[in-house]
Amino acid sequence: MLFGTIVGSLADKQGRKRACITYCITYILSCITKHSPQYKVLMVGRILGGIATSLLFSAFESWLVAEHNKRGFDPQWLSLTFSKAIFLGNGLVAIISGLFANLLADNLGFGPVAPFDAAACFLAIGMAIILSSWSENYGDPSENKDLISQFKVAATAIASDEKIALLGAIQSLFEGSMYTFVFLWTPALSPNEEDIPHGFIFATFMLSSMLGSSVASRLMARPTLKVEFYMQIVFAISAFTLLLPVIANFFLVTSGEKGGSMSFGGCIQLMGFCTFEACVGLFWPSIMKMRSQYIPEEARSTIMNFFRVPLNIFVCVVLYNVNAFPITVMFGMCSIFLFMAAILQRRLMTVAESHKSSKGEDWTAMREVGSEEEPLTA
């Protein structure tokens, strides 16, 4: 939250390629700190990791969109790239990485720090690829704008364009619910410390996310189907799936024997959680496409990190008070947020359509004026 907007602005100003290289270096340093038993050193590593995460969620996407447009590629290809990135990166590679980390730490006996060393090696390889094959692009190339000016440009864009503000609110509401879900699914499925296969369930979640991203690529490939339309349905389904723990608590037996197998209510919740993960797989490429359409190029990384400020505040507040409320209250709150996201998505579609129609009317009027003036000029 603290460093995200700063590093996002620097990415727009100093170059997205440099920001991606900085991500690799920062996270390599974060991995190295895991070898220290000193709390202060480990805390520095977490700060570096937080900065790197902000770069990961903004600089790479900003570089891709700018480079895609600079080379004159078909805008429709962006949708395919985003969906493949989520399918392969957030799904398949996540599963393989988890298995590889488990192999290093447990099967080969290298210890719990070994996965971080492996991550540092892959980061170094990625940095070498970026250095050798990427070209640089910028948000605002003017040299007279400092960080404060960049913040003002981003804030003005959000305040003056309702579409950008709606997009930021939608993203914060969904991602806040998603990150809260990450911390709550385990106690929800095993409220009485039932013996559940955590690794298998996580792999199932990732497969569900891959399925969702695959569906998203097919939906976005249809020129007549708008992202703004089907995402309303996705958010509504997400709201219902996270409401299942509340419903199950009232109507089904959700608590089994201590150390036993998952209860019937837990199985119902698991099906709902898999559906939610499929919605997450749909969300990522779809929100990326909408960001590429609505967020201005000159401050793309800055604006994207602005969106993450309320998200991080929300997650911090939730985690700080996670034991203060029953788990059903937390899921109910997330369900309400997702329902609000569906309503805001509806509003975004309406605003976008009205904006397009007004632009079309202006263009028609300009053509009519031009045709009336042609005889006079002749």
CA distances from 116 to 122, 128, 202, 246 (A): 10, 18, 20, 38
Lowest-confidence region among 37-41, 218-222, 228-232: 218-222
Q: Tokens 């996580």 map to which residue?
A: 202
Give the lowest-confidence range in 119-133, 260-274, 364-378. Answer: 364-378
What are residue 222's phi and psi, to 5 degrees? -85, 115
User: Is pLDDT of 361 > 60?
Assistant: no
pLDDT tens digits, 323-350:
778 888 899 999 999 999 999 999 999 9
| Mean pLDDT value of segment 23-38 | 95
pLDDT the model gives residue 88: 82
- Residue 337: the pLDDT is 94
Mean of pLDDT over the chain: 84
What pLDDT is attached to residue 359? 59
**Three-class secondary structure of residue 374 per DSSP:** helix
Instruction: Fill in the amino acid letter for 100.
Output: F
- Tell me what percent of the residues of the chain surpass a pLDDT of 90: 35
Confidence (pLDDT) at 91:
78
Examine the pLDDT at 363 and tell me if it is beyond 50. no
